[in-house]
Structure 1
C-alpha cells in the first residue's frame, strides 16, 4: 500500500489562501464558510486552524498578502503619481478580489480590525509621498496621507462604484476609464 505523504506546508498554506480569496471576496468574513474553503483547497478545518488560528486569521493573512502583492506589483512612484494611479487602476481591474476584500474588511472589521502588515505598508507609502512633497516633487496642498488616499481612491473609482452609479458611467469604455484616472490624478497634483 502506498504511503501518504502530506503536502508541503507552504503549498498547503498557499492553497488555503487561494481558496479563501474567492470565498471571502464573494461572501465576506461572516458569510464565508470554512467547509467551502477547505473543500476547494483539498484540505480541512484543522489545517486552517493550524496555519491561521481561525477563519478571521485566515482572512487577515489573505488581506495582508493581497495588500503586499498590490504594492509589490505596483510600487508607489512619486516621480509620476498619475502613471502610478493608472497602473494601480490596471491592478484593480485584473485583480477584482483585491478591492472586494478591502471593502469586506472595512465593512466587517472597521477600525477594530486594524492589521499591522497593512498599517505598515500604508505608512511606508505615505512616507514616500511625504518625502516627495518635501523634495518639491509633489505639491503640499494636501497632507501626505490624504494625497495618497485620494490617488488610491481615484484609481479604484471604477472598481469600487455602486452598480447604480456604475450604470450612469457605463458608457465610458474600459480603455478610457484608465485615462480618466490618470487625468484626474494629474489635475490633483497640478501637473
Structure 2
C-alpha cells in the first residue's frame, strides 16, 4: 500500500473496527506509543491493539471521523495531518499505568480538532504510531479545560459514586473484546 492508502486505512479502522482492513494496513509487530493513556488492550502489538484503540474511542464518541487533511512520506515514515471529529456520548476514560486516571461523563458536545500522526512503515504496513494532538482544544470543547463548574462537579460525582470506575471497566471490556475478536479470527484462519 502507498502512504495515502495506509493513512486513510488506519484511521478508517479506528472509525469502524474493520478487522479485515486492520489486517491489511497494520503489521503484526505494530507498536502504538499513544496506548499509555488507553485501556491495556490498546497496547497489544499489531492489528488487535489498533482495533482495541478504535473500540475505546468509539465508546466515548459517536459519529467518530478522522478526515485526512494531508499525507507526507519520507524514509520509512508517513506523516498524517487530520481532524478528529465526533459527538461525546459516552464516558471518555483516560488511563495511567493501566488504571483509571480520568473519566469525563458524556456531555453531548461535538469535538473537532487537529492532530498530526507519525506512522512508521515497513513493507506496506504500519509498524509504529506516535501523535501530536491538540488535546487542550478537545478538553475545552468538552468543558473540562478550563474547567466549567458543571462538568467539574459531574466528574467528581462520577468518581465518588463509582460510575467512573464502572465506565473504565466497561470500556476496558470493550477494548479487550475487540482485540480478542481479531486474535480469535486469526487463530481460526490459521487452523
TM over 0.5: no
Structure with more strand by fraction: 2
Structure with more helix by fraction: 1
- Give TM-score scaled by structure 2 length: 0.29
